[in-house]
Chain A
Amino acid sequence: GAVVSQHPSRVICKSGTSVKIECRSLDFQATTMFWYRQFPKQSLMLMATSNEGSKATYEQGVEKDKFLINHASLTLSTLTVTSAHPEDSSFYICSARDWGGWYRGNEQFFGPGTRLTVL
């Protein structure tokens, strides 16, 4: 149980295009999902918190108009990188918290990540 998937696993796009990444909780409902970014040889940095049915909360320094987050259902959150540039190339990872998470000690379950390369 507690499986989180991401799609696509890898994407290469041209500068200026937009890319959508999906994060799905497969066997539980997630009222809250988190989006992280990881640059090579570095740790994960939280970008935003995605809450089902409401606007995402962005961390300081993260442009909300560039990284659009939609959490339309209890099992799906999407991250759209708009007008992507080479500096947006990174590994994007999502995590999800079970809505009944306090039973599980609020453990977060992570997706396998999406490697974005912007040419």
Chain B
Amino acid sequence: KQEVTQIPAALSVPEGENLVLNCSFTDSAIYNLQWFRQDPGKGLTSLLLIQSSQREQTSGRLNASLDKSSGRSTLYIAASQPGDSATYLCAVNWTGGGNKLTFGTGTQLKVEL
């Protein structure tokens, strides 16, 4: 079964700290992987999209990596800020899956002053 898991479920860090969020997937046959941010009661904001042929993508203080062989992706957030507090979701678009996304369980991040 194709599944996506995110650990930890919740994370609290002091402001300024660099942090890594983890995403694991059970099938290496992926087309691409997206990282999203969701604020409470809101929709999704796309952060980064990594194609299966890519190893990483960067946007500002965010860097996402992809290792298909180990079934892992990480989202690195540099110099965290209180405004980064949100739930972060990764989603996998499986090869031959009709572009349907399978979402991970999410990591709820709180950056404290």
Contacts and interface: CB of A to CB of B under 8 A. Distances in A.
Q: How large is the interface on A (under 10, 10 to 19, 20 to 34, 35 or more residues)?
A: 20 to 34
Interface stretch (B13-21, B58-66, B75-83, B95-103): B95-103
A93 interface: yes
A58 B27 CA distance: 22
SS class of chain B's interface: helix, strand, loop or mixed? strand
A46 B100 contact: yes
SS class of chain A's interface: helix, strand, loop or mixed? strand
Given A44-B89, A105-B32, A111 B43 contact: yes
Q: How large is the interface on B (under 10, 10 to 19, 20 to 34, 35 or more residues)?
A: 20 to 34
B46 interface: yes
Given A105-B49, A107-B49, A43 B42 contact: no
Contact of B51 (A34, A105, A110): A105
